[in-house]
Amino acid sequence: MRYELYYQPSIQGRGEFVRLALEEGGADYVDVARDPKFGRPGIMKFLEDPSLEHPPFAPPFLRAGKLLISQTANILQFLAPRLALVPKSEAGRLWAHQLQLTIADWLYETGQTHHPIANVLYYEEQKDEAEKRAAHFISNRIPKFLGYFERILKLNPRGGDFVFGKKAAYVDLSLFQMIEGLRYAFPRTMAALEPQYPRLISLHDRVMTRPRIAAYLSSSRRLPFNEQGIFRHYPELED
Amino acid sequence: MRYELYYQPSIQGRGEFVRLALEEGGADYVDVARDPKFGRPGIMKFLEDPSLEHPPFAPPFLRAGKLLISQTANILQFLAPRLALVPKSEAGRLWAHQLQLTIADWLYETGQTHHPIANVLYYEEQKDEAEKRAAHFISNRIPKFLGYFERILKLNPRGGDFVFGKKAAYVDLSLFQMIEGLRYAFPRTMAALEPQYPRLISLHDRVMTRPRIAAYLSSSRRLPFNEQGIFRHYPELED
């Protein structure tokens, strides 16, 4: 099946968590808004189509045959068994999804550091509040989330290479992306913290060198981080 | 099976979305932290147990036999087919979960109105920022979410009584709870907005009068809203 991913064409954002799974799974997919044959009108048409029975609230969304699926973690939960990126057992899938939802919370909080008042305002209009929020995120929340995932890897009875042991799952790809994004947004913070979370950093490095991920990261399909996405580098937020 | 719900005993919070599903589904369950035989040490023991293979990041979490499941939407996704609160088809389950995750986003944003800087600070320490954030939430976000769910009910080819037509699903219970909570937190706003969303208000009323929900709401098991939960009534945030 050819999957169609609908997401903003100029940022990694939430869509990147889906792109990483599609790439690692070797899926046949089109990144619609980045494909010259489709383009952004294709996304707006979907969101505004008044006859759509299952309209997404926001991108990303995925078309898979007749299904139209949105919410990043829901898309990943749907794709993962089809791309061999999650164990088959119900217990395994619930655990992966639980972790993915915790990553979603972490990602949401990351975006709030530069938009603590409203997404419709510019960063410059909420910079004072952003500095306050980012200070708490850096000192309390980043260590709490890193510590949680490090603990999970440490306790893993199947070994701590990945969340499920020796085989990578979609949640590992998402953890890689969180580390990458936080390094971009808060480089000094991450440089100082990382030595305390060796298993998580090792997981990140293992994901990055997997052949399909490495090929993707060095391709033009991987967009650079920038100050329109969720992970933004504003040096003043780290001071 | 007897389910064990672990959540804070003094607030509705996220746990309430699970309680409503357990009640409507007629489940045999214990609300552990509110049961004199268990109590709050039971929750902390779980969160801090160093040998726990699948530790929750935060409450609520549910014990179901050998499974320990956290993240509200994940718990609901697990319970719903067992309590006949979701259609059996994969498409139906994906759609319900997608909507539940959108409700989770809405709930998170609701809590941010009184804690826009950090959850570890008191409301009074971030009141100025809360007033700014709440103003945007009231004028932009509440109408956007209400309009989205109203549109879904309107487009429903199976009729708009509930999200899936004539039969109530867990997502309907959660929509009821959102309306209840927003009425508590922002009464003037909701009074002004509700006439524009008649299907959603009608759904709320249908849920409220279902026999098991009505019995629950009038019992001591239903906690009152208060200013320690996610939905808080601070009149100044509505001015």
B49 in any annotated domain: yes
Q: Which pLDDT score is estimated for B44? A: 74
Q: Which pLDDT score is estimated for A214? A: 98
A159 in any annotated domain: yes
Q: Which of A115, A108, A234 is nearest to B137 (CA)?
A: A115
Q: Which pLDDT score is estimated for A40? A: 59
Same domain, A72 and A94: no
Same domain, B102 and B179: yes
Q: How far is CA A161 from the centre of its chain?
A: 20
Closest Cβ opposite residue B151 in set A55, A98, A156: A55
Q: How many residues does chain B have?
A: 239
Residue identified by tokens 């070797």 is A26
Amino acid at A167: K
Closest Cβ opposite residue A101 in set B74, B129, B136: B74
A53 in any annotated domain: yes
Do the strands B67-70 and B28-31 form a parallel or antiparallel pair, or are they unpaired?
A: unpaired
Same domain, B51 and B159: no
Q: Is the pLDDT of residue A208 over 80?
A: yes
Same domain, B135 and B117: yes
Q: Which of B100, B237, B72, B91 is nearest to B169 (CA)?
A: B100
Last residue of a domain, one of A45, A61, A82: A82
Determine whether the interchain pair A55/B118 forms a contact, defined as Cβ–Cβ distance below 8 Å: no
Report in angstroms the alpha-carbon separations of B176 from A20, B13, B95, B162, B213: 36, 14, 18, 11, 11
B61 in any annotated domain: yes
Q: Which domain holds residue B95?
A: 90-221
In a mutagenesis test of the A interface, which of B57, B89, B129 is the best target, namely the one with the most A β-carbons within 10 Å?
B57
Last residue of a domain, one of B82, B103, B121: B82
Q: Considering only CB atoms, which chain A residues are within 8 Å of B57? A: 102, 105, 148
Closest-CA residue in chain B for A149?
B57
> Does residue A25 contact residue A84 with C-beta atoms inside 8 Å?
yes
Same domain, A102 and A140: yes
Q: Residue B31 and residue A80: Cα distance in Å, rounded? A: 33
Same domain, B119 and B212: yes
Same domain, A64 and A102: no
Q: Residue B44 and residue A163: Cα distance in Å, rounded? A: 24
B236 in any annotated domain: no
A106 in any annotated domain: yes
- List beta partners, residue A30: A4
Using a pLDDT cut of 90, give the percent of chain A over it: 87
**Strand ranges (E), B12-145:** 28-31, 61-64, 67-70
Same domain, B16 and B125: no
Determine whether the interchain pair B51/A97 forms a contact, defined as Cβ–Cβ distance below 8 Å: no
Q: Which pLDDT score is estimated for B39? A: 60
Same domain, B109 and B208: yes
Instruction: Specify the CATH number for the domain of residue B116.
Output: 1.20.1050.10
User: What global pTM score does this model have?
Assistant: 0.97
B108 in any annotated domain: yes
Same domain, A100 and A72: no
Same domain, B70 and B23: yes
Last residue of a domain, one of B82, B109, B131: B82
List, for residues A94-151, the tens digit of each pLDDT value: 999 999 999 999 999 999 999 999 999 999 999 999 999 999 999 999 999 999 999 9
Same domain, B46 and B114: no
Tokens of A95: 């655990």
Q: Which pLDDT score is estimated for A50? A: 77
Sequential pLDDT tens for chain B (239 residues): 899 999 999 999 999 999 999 999 999 999 998 888 776 566 777 777 877 889 999 999 999 999 999 999 999 999 999 999 999 999 999 999 999 999 999 999 999 999 999 999 999 999 999 999 999 999 999 999 999 999 999 988 888 799 999 999 999 999 999 999 999 999 999 999 999 999 999 999 999 999 999 999 999 999 999 999 999 999 999 98
Instruction: Specify the CATH number for the domain of residue B35.
Output: 3.40.30.10
Closest-CA residue in chain A for B64?
A91
State the total domains in chain B. 2
A165 in any annotated domain: yes
Q: Residue B4 and residue A186: Cα distance in Å, rounded? A: 40
